Amino acid sequence: MAAGHQFEPRILGFLCNWCCYAGADLAGVSRFQYPPNIRVIRLMCSGRVDPAHIFRAFSTGQDAVFIGGCHLNDCHYVTHGNYDALSMVYVCKKLLEHIGLNPERLRLEWVSAGEGIRFANIMNEFVPGMEKLGPIGKGEGINEDELRFKLEAVTKLTPYIKLVQSERLRVSVRTEDAYHQFFTGEEFNRLFNELIADELDLYLHVSARNQTAGKEAVDNDRIDRIIGKHQGQARSLIQVLLEIQDEIHWLPHDVLDRVCEKLDVPLSRVMQIVTFHKTFSLIPRGRKE
């Protein structure tokens, strides 16, 4: 009788060209044995990995994401991009936990070009751990539609999340201990809940409400007419948002996406405005509210 099918996790790896990628290559040349579940994308620095890359990977069915970079303080660039990768992973793990996914599905490790055996050992530990967790979503008891909905929401808010990370979640001292102390402390939890979790929950609530309530579709022609009055100029962004708010009494996220496209402005800039000024609402309002 045929043996039962064993789950094989799909893992996407982002590896620094100078260190971890070379370490993985050394593991292969040296014939160190490890599971072949990882598919590798080589980039010049681990700091180039964007949160959107991570959540798009999960959205496409990857069961785990692995990021490998140079050891801290050994980055090949003066920007020390691996510290940026470290802070980004702390935030993304918190986001995964917030939407109900196991944060262990995202892993960051430092591997030098001469540490082929270390890379193999990490894979020999990581892959069995993902096998135990099971397929993404199913392992956490989240159905496919709910998982897709949540991952799309996080991906949509990535520009805003990056803005918060760069402005409010910065660590002044670049040491591993300082980063660990901040990102595992109460201050980070407070800022994350106030600036990211609340905004994400609002987006999820509004999106779910729109899907289930059968809201009246926004007429894109009305939005385009408002934008056209200002010749599609980015400097008119606030006035455009004010007129749309006055016209339809709130700012749906699909409308914000359209404004970004037509005015050629980043979503992070739009979110910065609409979440700061009380005039704007991301939730449907009545005409007299």
Which domains, from first to last, does the chain contain?
Answer: 11-198 (3.40.50), 217-289 (1.10.10.1590)
What confidence tens digit (pLDDT) does each residue in 9-51 have? 999 999 999 999 999 999 999 999 999 999 999 999 999 999 9
**pLDDT for residue 45:** 97
CB atoms within 10 A of CB 245: 18
pLDDT grade for 6, boundaries at 50, 70 and 90: confident
**pLDDT for residue 4:** 56
What confidence tens digit (pLDDT) does each residue in 255-287 have? 888 999 999 999 888 888 988 888 888 776 654
| Assigned token pair, 72 | 């801290």
Nearest 5°: CA angle at 177, between 171 and 196?
Answer: 40
- Residue 17 and residue 19: Cα distance in Å, rounded? 6
Helix, strand, coil fractions of the chain, as percent rounded to 5: 60, 10, 35
The DSSP line for 218-249 is P-HHHHHHHHHHTTT-GGGHHHHHHHHHHHHS
Report helix, strand or coil for 59: helix
pLDDT, the chain, mean: 90
| Range with lowest mean pLDDT among 63-77, 119-133, 206-220 | 206-220
* Cα R_g (the chain), whole angstroms: 22
| Range with lowest mean pLDDT among 16-30, 93-107, 245-259 | 245-259
Indicate the DSSP class of residue 14. E
| pTM of the shown model | 0.79
| Mean pLDDT calculated for residue range 68-78 | 95
